[in-house]
Amino acid sequence: MHPPSHRDYVSVSLSGQETGSYNNSKQWRRQSCWRKWKQLSRLQRSVILLILILVFIFGMASYPTITEHLRSLTDGVPDTGSDHVLKPLIPHVLPEPVKQGHPALPEQLSQRKLSNKRGPPVLQNRLQKKGNASDAIVDETPVDGEKERKEEGVISWRGAMIDTEQGTEGTKDQEKVDSPSNLDAKFSKESGAIRLEAVREAFRHAWKGYKDFSWGHDELRPISKSYSEWFGLGLTLIDALDTMWILGLKDEFEEAKIWVATELTFSKNVDVNLFESTIRILGGLLSTYHLTGDTLFLDKAKDIGSRLMPAFNTPSKIPYSDVNIGKGTAHPPRWTSDSTVAEVTSIQLEFRELSHLTQDPQYETAVAEVMNQVHKLDGKLDGLVPMFINTNNGQFTHQGIYTLGARADSYYEYLLKQWIQGGKKETQLLEDYLQAIEGVKKNLLQKSSPNGLTFVGELSHGQFSPKMDHLVCFLPGTLALGAHNGLPADHMDLAKQLMETCYQMYVHMETGLSPEIVHFNLHQGSTRDIEVKLADRHNLLRPEAVESLFYLYRFTKDNKYQDWGWEILQNFNKYTKVSSGGYTSINNVRDPEYPSPRDKMESFFLGETLKYLYLLFSDDPNLISLEQYVFNTEAHPLPIWPSPA
């Protein structure tokens, strides 16, 4: 077949018979394509090239959106998981599209010292009048009478919006007059009520987003008004159950309870992470059972608890990271046979409680075995543990690196809390805790320059690094809890110093929100105590700082801790609240004009952050009394076991 020398159309042949013998080798395909290309007229080639160029340009323009979608689809592990789940040490930051010019608010301009110029393309910043930012403002075209309201402080990204003015602004004005720092008891009480209501309002707003766009799914994606699945078990809903109960949000609680009763099933062929599902799902169900007395939640807790047990069927009895709760099989991550130390040592409160409630010792026995083995292991430094442990031989791996941050953090928290849960009798746990705190003081504690902020750094093969994760901000609260339970008074002194540092991690940022990781300056002559690397500027709505503020306020009654928490809540409202419902993680805490939403509301924002804020603003020490309850690492209160009479 001879092609005409000139053709004014492009023909596509489906037969592939031209050469008589079809051969699908690479070379054949290459030659055949090239021959066909040469047979085309110049016009035809130009048209094809033009189409390819247009496709390429379109592809580049939509790359960020696509990668973001892909990230949430393929990760399987939310960023949160970042804490303990085995994955690359450097957190990935989404490629950010180019920002279009938009006017900044005057107050924002004054704050913009270090703002960088990255972010989504259609982000628009408009002037906004003060008002209730919790109102969903979705329509970009203002209708008559609403024009002014809509033209203010709203950052829009692909149709969704983040309010740049806080929803609590109305109450902020009140604050200027009624500030507790005026030491006026009456005003202090009033502002307390206002703050409690502001947390309830924030919860309702977050819940609205979850309900409208991701009901029954794991996590809300508030910008794209969709959801992401991790385990496919309604993670946010379960994590939030006891928060609703504590905040007195009865209607919301009842509708969630109906979902648990009618929709929640663990009979699913799905891999779940043992640690994350224990602290969020098992912990959430157990605490909700205790608060409500409703056996629905106990039955569900028993179901998930027993389905997680195959994780402990390993040669060493150190559990695997992942369990298929439908098949009853467990396995480590694909690339290693290690588990994370924090993961295997931060499931004890929940499984011990499950044994207590069911009178079935298998759960407690399995998690106690892990603690006993870790207690005896070589490779610790003054009570500090490495980050990984092998499930075959039960030994620490990747030794020589010590941190109180990701992959080790809640090991220390659960030493103390198990001791408290069990009525302060298990001395091995207490000794390991006390030794570890001495290890922190000796190896990881330093002061920054120029202002002498006390911080907890990291040690890598004898080399000190002045790096501190926001996750470490659980430590002031844990130290204070220990001191409250009779441990050395200097633990409380250290708790106060570290609390100040964690607060400064917020104050030093232009948005007033802490980044994921900071580095402290050690050298004299530095002008700033705190530096943030480009890749560490994100904020995932994490709870640790407000968690510690809650403990510090409960034990000291110093109002400054409530005031600090109030500032943080206002900044969450200002930079992470999405008008159509929900709150979003952000990429850049250093750019108040353009914080760059990540389009994810982590379940712990409802499970922990808002709960601790509410408890912080409450002056009722019996609202989850710390004499009766101990919080798991996901803020789910579990009872302290009464001593036998």
Q: Please list the active-site residues.
A: 276, 409, 516, 544
Angstrom distance (rounded) from CA 121 to CA 97: 6
- Rounded CA-CA distance 72/600 in Å is 9
243 binds ligand DMJ (CB under 6 A): no
Residue closest to ligand DMJ, measured at CB: 633
Q: How far is the CB of 239 from ligand DMJ (least distance, A)?
A: 9
**Residue 633 binds ligand DMJ, judged by CB under 6 A:** yes
Q: At its nearest, how many Å lie between ligand DMJ and the CB of residue 585?
A: 11
Q: Kindly identify the residues of this chain, within the stretch 104-163, that bind ligand DMJ according to CB under 6 A.
A: none
Question: In this structure, what are the phi and psi dihedrals at residue 320, rounded to the nearest 5 degrees?
Answer: -70, 160
Q: What is the rounded distance in angstroms from the CA atom of residue 324 to the CA atom of residue 307?
A: 8
Give whichever of 471 and 513 is closer to ligand DMJ, judged by the CB atom.
Answer: 471
Residue closer to ligand DMJ, measured from CB, 273 or 355:
273
> Where do the H-state alpha helices sit in 422-543?
427-443, 475-484, 489-507
Strand (E) or helix (H) holding 154: strand 154-157
**Using CB under 6 A, which residues numbered 516 to 545 contact ligand DMJ?**
542-543
* Strand segments (E) across 348-476: 388-390, 396-397, 401-402, 445-447, 454-456, 458-460, 463-465, 467-469
- Residue whose CB is less far from ligand DMJ, 167 or 543: 543
For ligand DMJ, the closer CB: 208 or 542: 542
Q: 460-489 mask for ligand DMJ (x: CB under 6 A)?
A: -----------x------------------
Binding mask 558-597 for ligand DMJ (x = CB under 6 A): ----------------------------------------
Sign for the CA dihedral angle at 122, 123, 125, 130 comes to positive
Residue environment code for 549-562, b if the CB has 16+ CB neighbours within 10 A, otherwise e? bbbbbbbbeebbbb
Task: Work out the angle at residue 234's Cα, subtended by the Cα atoms of residues 132 and 230, and round it to the nearest 5 degrees.
Answer: 105
* Binders of ligand DMJ in range 542-561 (CB under 6 A): 542-543
Looking at the Cβ atoms of 576 and 580, the one nearer to ligand DMJ is: 576
Buried b (16+ CB within 10 A) or exposed e, 582-612: bbbbbbbbbbbbbbbbbbbbbbbbbbbbbbb
- Are the C-beta atoms of residues 373 and 428 closer than 8 Å to each other? no
Taking residues 389 to 428 in sequence order and writing x for each that binds ligand DMJ by CB under 6 A, - otherwise, the string is ---------------------x------------------
What's the CA gap between 241 and 230, in Å, rounded? 18
CB 420 within 8 A of CB 342: no
Tell me how far, at minimum, the Cβ of 633 lies from ligand DMJ, in Å. 4
Burial of residue 461 (number of CB atoms within 10 Å: 0-12, 13-18, 19+): exposed
- Interface with ligand DMJ in residues 7-26 (CB under 6 A): none
- Report how far Cα 32 is from the mean position of its chain's Cα atoms: 53
Kindly report the number of other CB atoms within 10 A of residue 258's CB atom: 10
Q: Is 591 or 634 the residue whose CB approaches ligand DMJ more closely?
A: 634
Of 346 and 580, which has the nearer Cβ to ligand DMJ?
A: 346
CB 342 to ligand DMJ: min, Å: 8
What's the min distance (Å) between Cβ of 475 and ligand DMJ?
12
Site for ligand DMJ in 69-88 (CB under 6 A): 80, 83
Minimum CB separation of residue 474 from ligand DMJ in Å reads: 7
Q: Which of 634, 636, 638, 640 binds ligand DMJ (CB under 6 A)?
A: 634
Binding to ligand DMJ in span 602-631, by CB under 6 A: 604, 608
| Measured distance CA(345)–CA(389) in Å, rounded | 11
Residues in touch with ligand DMJ (CB under 6 A): 80, 83, 410, 471, 542-543, 604, 608, 633-634
